[in-house]
Amino acid sequence: MQDLRIQILQFAPAWEDIKATQQQLAIQFKELKDVDIVVLPEMFLSGFTMNPENSAIDQNSEQYKFLLEQSKVLNCVVCGSVIWKDGDKYYNRFLWIEGGLEKYHYNKRHLFSLAGEEKVYAKGEKPIIIDYRGWRIAPFICYDIRFPVYMRRRKDFDYDVLIVVASWPERRHFAWQQLLAARAIENQAYLIASNRVGIDGKGILHEGGSGMWDYSGKKKAAAQSFKEERVGVLLQKESIEKFRNQFRFLDDADEFRIEY
C-alpha cells in the first residue's frame, strides 16, 4: 500500500461565477505535479450560495468536463463539493473524479439550517467509503462534522482517512479547528480539511484553517490564515496501522449501527 501525496487548495471562489472560478483553477492546476489527490473546498466553483440556479453544474456542463480533463491530464484525483443539478433537485455534492472519470459522489447529509440550506438543497442519504490505492477514505461536507455519531468509524463503516471540505466562516473558526481535531482523535484517522478564504457575496469572512491532522489529533500541516495557498501533505499507511495496533481504543467501544 503506497503513501498518498495530497495537495489541499485553499482559495476564494468567484462568487456565483463558475466560469471565472474555472479560470482560477486552471492556473492552479498548471502548477501541480507529483500529486495523487487534489482537495478543493465546499461549493468550490461558486461559493456557498443559496442561489443554485446560477451556479449548478451537471454532466453536460463545461466545468464538469474541465474537472474530468484536469484529473486525466494530471493523472490524479480531483475532489471537492459543487452545486449539482439532478432533474428538478439541487444537491451539495462531493465529487471524486479519478483518472478522468467520476468514480464516487456523496450528497451532503446535514444541511445548514441557519443559512436555509435545507430549503434549497435535497438531503443526502448516507455516507460513503472510497477505495483508493489500498486506502479507505470517507468524505464529508462542512456542517457534517458537528455530528460525531454520523462520522463514527465502526466495523460497518471503517476508514483510514477523513476528507472534510467546507465553507466555514471566520466567526466560528475556533469551533472549526476543535471539531476537526476531535474527529481525528476519536476515529484514529488522518483528517484532510479544505476550507475557503476571502469574503463571499453575503459579506461573510472566511479564515481558512485548511490542513492535515494525524490519527492522534495533532495538526501536522496548515495553510496560512486568510491566504490563498496550496498545502502538500504525505499520508503514510504504515504509521497509522502501527498507532492503531498500539492504542486499540475502539475495541472498547460498544458496537452499533446507524439506520438511515
Distance between CA atoms of 183 and 191, rounded to whole angstroms? 8
Query: Reduced to 3 states, what is the DSSP secondary structure of residue 120?
Result: helix
Query: Reduced to 3 states, what is the DSSP secondary structure of residue 114?
Result: helix
Q: Are strands 205-206 and 198-199 parallel, antiparallel or unpaired?
A: antiparallel
**Tens of pLDDT, residues 92-142:** 999 999 999 999 999 999 999 999 999 999 999 999 999 999 999 999 999
Question: Which residues participate in catalysis according to the annotation?
Answer: 42, 108, 142
Each residue's pLDDT expressed in tens, for the chain with a length of 260 residues: 689 999 999 999 999 999 999 999 999 999 999 999 999 999 999 999 999 998 999 999 999 999 999 999 999 999 999 999 999 999 999 999 999 999 999 999 999 999 999 999 999 999 999 999 999 999 999 999 999 999 999 999 999 999 999 999 999 999 999 999 999 999 999 999 999 999 999 999 999 999 999 999 999 999 999 999 999 999 999 999 999 999 998 888 887 777 77
For 129-196, give the DSSP string: -EEETTEEEEEEEGGGGG-HHHH--BTTB--SEEEEEE---GGGHHHHHHHHHHHHHHHT-EEEEEE-
pTM for the whole thing?
A: 0.97
**Tens of pLDDT, residues 238-260:** 999 999 999 998 888 887 777 77
